[in-house]
A and B are shown apart, each in its own frame.
Chain A
Amino acid sequence: MTGERPIELVLLEMALLVLLGPLVTGFIQKLKARLQCRQGAAIVQPYRDLAKLFRKGTVQAVTASGFFRSIPVLVLAATVAAGALVPVLRAGPPAFPLGDALMLLGLLALARFLTAIGAFDAGGAFGGMGASREMTIAPLVEPVLMMVVFSTAVAAGTTELGALSAHRGTSWILDWHAADFLGFAAMLVLLPAETGRIPVDNPDTHLELTMLHEGMLLEHSGPGLGCMVLASHTRQIVTLGLVAALFFPIVSYGAGAADLLVGAGAFAAKILVLAVFLALVESSYAKLRLFRVPQYLGIGFVCALTALALRIL
């Protein structure tokens, strides 16, 4: 296969995603604050938080084992590696095959699995509770996400994300089939679940009755917590990038420096649209009860199954 994205470009895109991840979180927080008639923290606040965490010392639970210290490292590495699989600046498969959409979902699942294990180690009930809830939601989200990927992959004949977005081409929403609309709807339903936001999870709270993801981070501190927080920023932008690659059109096919700049601008615009969506949903809905979440995800499942059926029949 002739790749269109040399390995340097892939690594550059990965670094870009990691650097921009906190900015997306900051933007969503700011927009939410404004929607709630508050001034809100600055957009760069997540960067300040990270810098503070990396300067701090570490406090570790007495019961924690040797695994506990390496969990944040492995979680961050797995999440960032998933970032290498998302096309950012331009579409097309990488020059040397790396991984496809299934690999991306697998790496994110690996990060989640390790996070859940880390939550057990401190021996408090909050960690286990968070891990239990997260690992209840995750198996329900993953198959639906895969079905959405399959619904576009069946049309394109590949599961490689770069090739998928190249297949989507420059066609705008007018060229979409019914299956695309349904798949996109399913994706929008899943997006809050996968990024850990209302109505599935609430990233702003540390109340034991409501938290999922935050519950697993309680016992991490200092640089370790910094790694975990950076990983969740990265995970969010990677997920948004996945949606962008699957459903949004690309702007140009060119390979020049100007084209790359246009590609970067287009990517930023796509992420911005999705971030606005997330902020609006977070501000206008309440968090669902845990046992309502499967029904909510069921909507996504039906949409994704119908999208696939339309593709195949």
Chain B
Amino acid sequence: MTGTLLMAACYGAGGLSSLLARWSGRLALGVGHLAALVGAVAGLGVSLGVLVGDQGRTLTLPLPELFPFARLTLAVDGLSAFFLLVISLVVIAAAIYGPAYLRAHSPGAGPARQAAQVLALNVFLGCMAFVCCAGDALTFLLCWEGMTLASYVLVVAGDRDGENARAGLLYMVMTHGGTALLLVAFLALTERAGAFDFAALRAAAGGLDGMTRTTLFFLALGGFATKAGVIPLHVWLPRAHPAAPSHVSALMSGVMLKVAIYGILRFAFDLLAPVAAPLPFSWGWTVLVAGTISAVLGVLYALQQHDLKRLLAFHSVENIGIILIGVGLAMILWRREDVGGALATVALTAALLHTVNHAAFKGLLFLAAGSVLCRTHVRNMEELGGLARRMPWTAGLFLLGAVAISALPPLNGFVSEWLTFQALLGAASRFHGPAGLVIVFSAAMLALTGGLAAACFAKAFGVTFLGRARTPHAEHATEVPPSMIAGMVWLAALCVALGVAPGYLMHLLDAPTTGLLHGPGASAVVTAQGPLVLSTALTASGTDATAISMTMVAALLIALTAMAWVLRRGLRRAPPRTAPTWTCGMSPTARFDYTATAFAKPLRFVFAALYRPRRAVIRETAGTPYVFQRIHYSGEVVDLAETQIYHRVQRGITVLSRTIRLRSTGRIHGYIGFVLAALFVALLLFGVGQR
């Protein structure tokens, strides 16, 4: 209880510390981030207290009365505590990393900008934490809005060029569209309940008919999916996330999207769930299919990005998709004893585990990309290269994150994807007919996603960190200061711990899984054979369990690496000679290095139907057509959602506004006529409805 207050006080103090910028911007940065760090540790304490303590306990804290019509409350149950844990873990890294990054990246920033950044950062963090702890609709919506506004400030505060402002505007428009949907969903419930707190909403939702319930769910899903960046509502994400400072990008991608996942879980399993009946089929299937599409398209578009941070932002779309596959499966299986049983718990565990895993590795990757950015001031990976020798720590940590996000053993991405696969397979063997086929197809797409992610990160790591430096920016890079490395090491340690010993952390998932599903906890299902072993049963009888041990595999890998190292040293201990790379007799330069565009080209050909690639080659010849003076090449791929949906909507709006402009003649009679006509139609519609 005191922990929650302490957390609020820290974020508040962090916000106020922006006032220090009047004297010293540097001091404000330091104190602001320190306050955020203490706040995150307090949040960690609160969440662990709830997660480790006795099951089903909910911390509630009524806030002082601000509004005459509603009382704000905080309530921390298992689900809230889990998301608070995820937020706090990443905030700790970002708070350690932040001050040095901001100083190194923009040394010329004035105190006003630093004050704005510190204030917005702390408001953002506080709102994010309290969205998850909200005990009533009003607190939820206020914090949700605060989170959006503060992150908008952070997106546009970095560099004030036109691109950032446009990204910020798109972000504002999209997320407010989403918030509008949420508002409708919440207000429809509060109107029925006559109160704002979640308990009353839950009781009011019990009496809803199926149609209204489903409508409300889809309204909420639309709102949260916009924030989570589910395709096709993702267009703001790859623009806004790279524009923010890198540790804020890490928070936005790693954590803020997860708050939307929290909202979906809260609405589906708690607020809107029918009493003692399974969720309607349409909910789960929609989420599952949307998740699958997001996963595949997200990684495919990521593959063709050459901007390091934009590539990572597209991977967030992919990973949100993977989380939603687990969530959708849990929705389908929940309370259907004939097919589901404990499998719903497996699916939800996979989704929650991927939530924390994605927060860890995506946070790590964004921080590492930020390190590259602040030392080279270049985001385009075609202009980098050879950084591994100049920034060995950053390179090693980026590689670790890359292995984790590509779902390769023995790191954490593999664990949650393995659980998702097991849940999908189990569901496929129990559903017969087309439903089973959809699930199997989803599993195949998940496998494709993993393979493409590995290809994408081989490209990202290889082109950015290996080979020769392509520009002077990359040539003169140096390693980042220790505090930035420390922030990254914290997240890297989380990736390793969650990958090598996931069983020991599984009981932290007990409270959210039992709280939502009212069934067995995660540890009882997944770590039934002891903490070293992860196991799931595919068949309903549960006799043939599939079991793996990440710990044992990691130990085996280490032992084999040691043996291979001995072998690698060879029988003749000659010191290694160095020689230039063979480039067919020419003297090697950086232009011989394979570029990211070239690397991704075969996949661009294979998936041409989805990319619609365009390329333009202009050749300037000298006299004869056989001698080229200059060749200019440009190529781009399109985002299908953007061209097929948004551009059409945009054209529609343009046509509509042209038509309206023709009708608006500027004469007052015409306008009065329109108003009268609208009134007449409204009276006709609602008058008929009343009778």
Contacts and interface: CB of A to CB of B under 8 A. Distances in A.
Interface in A139-189: 139-144, 146-147, 150, 153-154, 156-160, 163
User: B459, B467, B564: which has the most chain A beta carbons within 10 Å?
Assistant: B564
B560 A80 contact: yes
Contacts of B546: 100, 158-160, 163
B576 A60 contact: yes
A113 B409 contact: no
Interface in A86-141: 93, 96-100, 102-103, 106-107, 109-110, 112-113, 116-117, 119-125, 127-129, 131-133, 135-136, 138-141
B466 interface: yes
Interface string A37-56: 00000000000000000111
Contacts of B403: 110, 113
B594 A131 contact: yes
Given A59-B577, A72-B568, A121 B539 contact: no
A158 B538 CA distance: 6
A223 B570 contact: yes
A256 interface: no
B567 A294 contact: no
A126 B455 CA distance: 17
B568 A227 contact: yes
A122 B582 CA distance: 9
Contact of A146 (B447, B467, B588): B447
Nearest to B582: A124
Contacts of A76: 560, 564, 567
Contact of A57 (B444, B547, B577, B592): B577
Contacts of A59: 576-579
Contacts of A66: 388-389, 392
Contacts of B561: 73-74, 77
A97 B425 contact: no
Contact of A290 (B533, B539, B602): B602
Interface stretch (B61-69, B161-169, B432-440): B432-440
Nearest to B538: A157
B359 to A, nearest CB: 21
Determine the interface band of chain A, counting residues with CB < 8 A from chain B: 35 or more
Contacts of B170: none
B428 interface: yes
Interface string B458-474: 11011101111000000
B388 A67 contact: yes
B552 interface: yes
B557 A81 contact: yes
A192 interface: no
A120 B455 CA distance: 13
A67 B593 contact: no
A124 B454 contact: no
A128 B556 contact: no
B634 interface: no
A123 B592 contact: yes
A312 interface: yes
A147 B535 CA distance: 20
Contacts of B433: 312-313
Given A58-B570, A109-B451, A136-B603, A128 B594 contact: yes
User: B431, B441, B454: which has the most chain A beta carbons within 10 Å?
Assistant: B454
Interface stretch (B220-228, B310-318, B341-349, B414-422): B414-422
Contact of A97 (B406, B429, B533, B568): B533
Given A66-B392, A138-B451, A106 B407 contact: yes
A219 interface: yes
Contacts of B538: 153-154, 157-159
B578 A227 contact: no
A160 B457 CA distance: 29
A112 B392 CA distance: 22
A84 interface: yes
A291 interface: yes
B529 interface: yes
B451 A140 contact: yes
B459 to A, nearest CB: 8
Contacts of B600: 132
A122 B448 contact: no
A107 B549 CA distance: 14
Given A54-B571, A158-B545, A61 B578 contact: yes
Determine the interface band of chain B, counting residues with CB < 8 A from chain A: 35 or more
A114 to B, nearest CB: 8
Given A97-B533, A110-B403, A56 B578 contact: no
Nearest to B533: A97
Contacts of A110: 403, 408-409
B569 interface: yes
B445 interface: yes
A284 interface: no
User: B441, B598, B606: which has the most chain A beta carbons within 10 Å?
Assistant: B606
A123 B462 contact: no
Contacts of B552: 96-98
Contact of B544 (A113, A158, A224): A158
A65 interface: yes
Contacts of A55: 570-572
A103 B556 CA distance: 13
Contacts of B386: 63, 65, 123
A143 B575 CA distance: 43
A96 B440 CA distance: 29
Contacts of B418: 102-103, 106
Contact of A159 (B422, B448, B570, B579): B422
Contacts of B603: 136, 139
A312 B440 contact: yes
A103 B409 contact: yes
A308 interface: yes
A309 to B, nearest CB: 6
B409 A106 contact: yes
Interface in B526-558: 529, 533, 535, 537-539, 543-549, 552-553, 556-557
A99 B554 CA distance: 11
A136 B588 CA distance: 26
B448 A58 contact: no
A138 B408 CA distance: 14
A143 B444 contact: yes
A74 B538 CA distance: 33
Nearest to B590: A123
5 contacts: A58-B576, A63-B581, A96-B549, A128-B593, A132-B599
Shortest 5 CB-CB distances between A and B: which pairs?
A128-B594, A139-B451, A120-B462, A97-B547, A223-B570
Interface of B: 386, 388-389, 392, 395, 399, 403, 406-409, 414, 418, 421-422, 425, 428-429, 431-433, 436-437, 440-441, 443-445, 447-448, 450-452, 454-455, 457-459, 461-463, 465-468, 529, 533, 535, 537-539, 543-549, 552-553, 556-557, 560-561, 563-565, 567-572, 574-583, 588, 590, 592-595, 598-603, 605-606
